[in-house]
Structure 1
Amino acid sequence: MTNKGVGILNPHFKIGLIRVVTLSDEQMLNLHGQLIEHYFPELQVESRCIDAQPTGIHDEQTEQLAVPKIIKLAKEWQGLDAIVVSCANDPAVKELREELSIPVIGAGESTALLATRYGQTFGVLGITEEIPRGYRKTFGDRIVGNCLPEGIHSTLDLPTTEGKKSVTAKALELKELGAEVIALACTGMSTIGIAKELEQVCHIPVIDPVMAEGLMTYFECLRKE
């Protein structure tokens, strides 16, 4: 399930990308990897998903179920230059960094770090009641409002018309509360490509987590070369 890179450069680094939602549709499984390859043609991304989590990670219980699955999948994967856990809560990232000799990149940490380039106050927009720890660690007390749009319970709610309306309404609310940057806190929002739409509506930077994890991965691979 390797995606073919796009652009003038040949793929140079082999990346393993872990989806934390169980997907049987190969197109959906490979979507985040294809986005990363589009942004960074030197990265060749193979995507795999964990088992038995059809709604992904959306609370503490589903994260606890996912962590050992992520660790097992990552440790069995051979011949990689880096691993990406494509989830804004960065499940198992800390544990894998302690056990693996290659870079391990989490979407949440990457998004939060990139967001600090564009402002001083932050709106975090995701699918959980609690703001993911990577964002809290990076932003501290500079977060405005809460994270969760109305009526959103899992990543499956995002592609619907009502889901997109709810995400847009929450983004506008965060801007009104003083956010200079919106950091998306669910990679499912990358799946529906909503970052550019939110920027057009809110007129402030909106950080896409898949683009951010790709950027961090590319940097880490270059640094290790």
Structure 2
Amino acid sequence: MSGPIVVINPNSNQVVTDGLEQALAAFHKAVEIDCVTLAEGPFGIESQYDVDQVALPLAALVKSRPDASAFVIACYSDPGLDLCRATASVPVFGIQESGVLTALARGDRFGVLAIAEASIPRHLRYLRRMGVIERLAGERALNMSVDESARGEGTFERLSEVGQELVADGADVLILGCAGMARHRAVLETRLGRPVIDPTQAAVAMAIGVVLSG
């Protein structure tokens, strides 16, 4: 392996990046991981405008890191993924795509805990593009900001409430629909009694597999 897996938080909220560092701590035993914040990004990626505006800065950051062995774009909308893949000479993983593929390996039907109602149509378009919409049990919103999900005192209880609703919808595996929720994964899995996928962990696990296999 020649260089680190670079995990990019496309928003400018350092609290989210710190949460990614914490969620990925165990992965450092296998490879070097460098979590970075996109300084040009909005404080939270919560709209289609936010998604589209970070594509060029993301590609520029990718281009500036020729030392990387792989990249992970740590936002559930996978902003700039196609452009970054066209820019990079190494693999680039989006966390929504990786999270969904991991969920499909862990259960029959998956549910997604989204940040806000406005993000759901965007996520559904992506699932249709992936051809997996029929495996979706449901997607429900916390109706919180990215920052609130990362640091809010009531985030875990809201995740538990919405997660239980998704289980009732028929989901046997759940996906956290925002990188800012990462620190709640393990305790939420215990509370709900269902596998809970942190999509950033899923993407990094895929990247590690590719990197270590050469």
* TM-score normalised over the length of structure 2: 0.86
Q: What is the RMSD computed on CA atoms of the aligned residues?
A: 2.2
Structure 1 residue 107 displacement after superposition: 1.1
Instruction: Give the match for residue 56 of structure 2.
Output: 68
SS at match of 1:195: helix
**Secondary structure in 2 aligned to 1:161?**
coil
Give the distance between the partners of 2:42 and 2:79, measured in 1 at CA.
16
Structure 1 residue 75 displacement after superposition: 1.0
Identity of aligned residues (%): 25
Counterpart of 2:132? 139
More displaced, 60-69 or 124-133? 124-133
- What number of residue pairs does the alignment pair up? 208
Residue aligning to 2:104? 116
Report the CA distance between 1:181 and its aligned residue.
0.7
| Structure 2 letter corresponding to 1:75 | K
Write 1 or 2 for the structure with the bigger share of helix: 2
Does the CA contact (< 8 Å) of 2:14 and 2:37 recur in 1? no
Larger RCO (alpha carbons 8 Å, 6+ apart) = 2
Contact 1:17 1:33 in 2 (8 A): no
The alpha-carbon distance between structure 1 residues 167 and 135, as it changes in their structure 2 partners (threshold 3 A), is farther
Please state how far the C-alpha of 1:183 moved relative to its aligned partner: 1.3
Equivalents in 2 of 1:117, 1:129: separation in Å? 22
Compute the displacement of 1:172 (Å): 0.5
Matched, 1:105 2:93: yes
Flag the 1:34–1:161 CA change in 2: closer, same or farther, 3 A.
Answer: closer
Structure 1 length-normalised TM: 0.83
What CA distance in whole angstroms lies between the structure 1 residues aligned with 2:94 and 2:140?
18
Unaligned ranges ≥5, structure 2? none
Structure 1 residue 29: Cα displacement: 3.3
Identify unmatched segments of 5+ residues in structure 1. Answer: 1-10
Alpha-carbon contact 1:172-1:202 (below 8 Å) kept = yes
1:164 alignment partner, one of 148, 156, 169: 156
